[in-house]
Structure 1
Amino acid sequence: MPSAPGNADNSVVVDDPKGEVWDRLVPRLSKNFYVINNLDRDSGLINVSYSGDPGRFVDCGQIHSYVKNARGERNYRFPATTPQKSYEIMQGGTLYFVDRRMELEGRMNVILEAVSDAKTRVTANTRYVVTKSGTIRNTQGQSRSFSDTIKFDTGGRAAFPNPNYEDQTTCVPNGRLEESVLDLVD
């Protein structure tokens, strides 16, 4: 089970006019790992995307599997957000081989609002889309694929359906994605 959702403080007020903050933020966003999807200077809306390793920005707890058979004992423990992991599980006396992948697609709305002529509030709200996929195969070579996607917003959480080969996987944002954008404001 993951820790509690990350810092939900997804807003900052800066002592600069909205136009100056905009002129500073847009180039900084484009130089980082974000894809800028949409800009609307008049409304103060910037929509950016992130795609990649979920472990940087999401906590989905730990995966643990202990296997003991004629080949010995194996103990697997890793963060559930690991982008790719192959491991074994023992279920009902049958050994299974799991190849598991995790991916994150994040879409963030960054909103600039004039608090006064000399102050601007910048708010970052993210929609997280996490996909868990892979294959599971038994020792006879029979396999099946799996793929599930969950969605949650800044400060939220969601759980993957509970397959019979692992415990419930619940994911929460750690607040770092929003923080990484708000850090570009100053």
Structure 2
Amino acid sequence: MRLYVITIAVLALTACAGKVDYIRPISQTTSSSNVKVVDKPREAVWNASVPELGKQFFMINNLDKSSGLINVSYNGEPEKYIDCGRITSYVKNARGERTYEFAGAKGHQTYEIMLPGTGLFNIERKMSLEGRVNLVFEELSPTQTRVTANTRYVVQRQQVIRNVANNFPQSSTDSISFNSGGGTSFPAGSDGRAAECVATGALEREILSAIR
């Protein structure tokens, strides 16, 4: 009987398996990715930029022509503008094998994880980004203007985790922030690993493309 019980336990362990892998971000930004020099007077660049920025999906929050400052913002899915690495979860049980692989900055993702000694969990994960951008217009010469885009990234992660055994939900919300060319990590999980997010420079490049 004892041998039978041990055999059943071994079979149960081998029938259920799970593994979660996380690959850190690989994106890198250059020091010049948020700067653009236009061969026109500051007045002309400013006058052309305001209506052009108004045509974009960014929101213009503030204009101060005397100081050469325009503040715009972006709210939405973060995957286009930041890199939070990639997540892979492998699950195997009586229902078969499943593999989930997705970008850590993806706006919405549902997946499963199998934790040793704990069981199978369903996870609903949402990510959102608010990018607050200061555009600074500086006169380099009477015929040349430098425009710098400085961004404050605020990233929010919401997760609802349900244990399949009892369907009891546990929710969490975490927020991180960093500046252009930088990045930081969310609080570490129970396994000691922490998801990291970095700016790719795509937001600054897209905004500066409207400056002519």
TM-score range, shorter chain: over 0.9
Per the alignment, residue 40 of structure 2 pairs with: 16
Identity over the aligned pairs, expressed in percent? 47
Deviation for aligned residue 1:185: 1.3
Per the alignment, residue 179 of structure 2 pairs with: 153
Per the alignment, residue 7 of structure 2 pairs with: none
1:62 and 1:167, CA in 2 relative to 1: closer, same or farther beyond 3 A?
farther
DSSP 3-state at the match of 2:70:
strand
| TM-score (normalised: structure 2) | 0.85
- Stretches of structure 1 that go unaligned for 5 or more consecutive residues are none
Amino acid corresponding to residue 116 of structure 1 in structure 2: S
DSSP 3-state at the match of 2:190:
coil
Cα contact 1:8–1:175 (8 A) shared by 2: no
Per the alignment, residue 25 of structure 2 pairs with: 2
Q: Distance between the aligned counterparts of 1:116 and 1:165, measured in 2?
A: 55
Per the alignment, residue 72 of structure 2 pairs with: 48
Q: Distance between the aligned counterparts of 1:53 and 1:137, measured in 2?
A: 24
Q: Distance between the aligned counterparts of 1:138 and 1:165, measured in 2?
A: 17
- Stretches of structure 2 that go unaligned for 5 or more consecutive residues are 1-23
DSSP 3-state at the match of 1:54:
coil
Q: Distance between the aligned counterparts of 2:169 and 2:28, measured in 1?
A: 35
Amino acid corresponding to residue 107 of structure 1 in structure 2: R
Per the alignment, residue 184 of structure 1 pairs with: 210
Q: Distance between the aligned counterparts of 1:82 and 1:135, measured in 2?
A: 15
Structure 1 residues 37-186: aligned runs within 5 Å: 37-93=61-117, 94-139=119-164, 140-164=166-190, 167-186=193-212
Q: Distance between the aligned counterparts of 1:23 and 1:166, measured in 2?
A: 51
Please identify runs of 4+ aligned residues in structure 1 that moved more than 4 A. none
Q: Distance between the aligned counterparts of 1:101 and 1:166, measured in 2?
A: 21
Equivalences, count: 186
Deviation for aligned residue 1:165: 7.2
DSSP 3-state at the match of 2:79:
helix
Q: Distance between the aligned counterparts of 1:166 and 1:177, measured in 2?
A: 31
Residues 78-124 of structure 1: CA distance to partner in whole angstroms, max 9, x if unpaired? 00111100000001240000000000000000000000111100000
Q: Distance between the aligned counterparts of 1:91 and 1:149, measured in 2?
A: 25
Deviation for aligned residue 1:175: 0.5
Deviation for aligned residue 1:164: 3.0
Residues 111-150 of structure 1: CA distance to partner in whole angstroms, max 9, x if unpaired? 0000011110000000000101020010111111011000
Q: Distance between the aligned counterparts of 1:58 and 1:137, measured in 2?
A: 28
The structure with the larger Rg is 2
Q: Distance between the aligned counterparts of 1:5 and 1:36, measured in 2?
A: 27
Q: Distance between the aligned counterparts of 1:81 and 1:7, measured in 2?
A: 21
DSSP 3-state at the match of 1:148:
strand
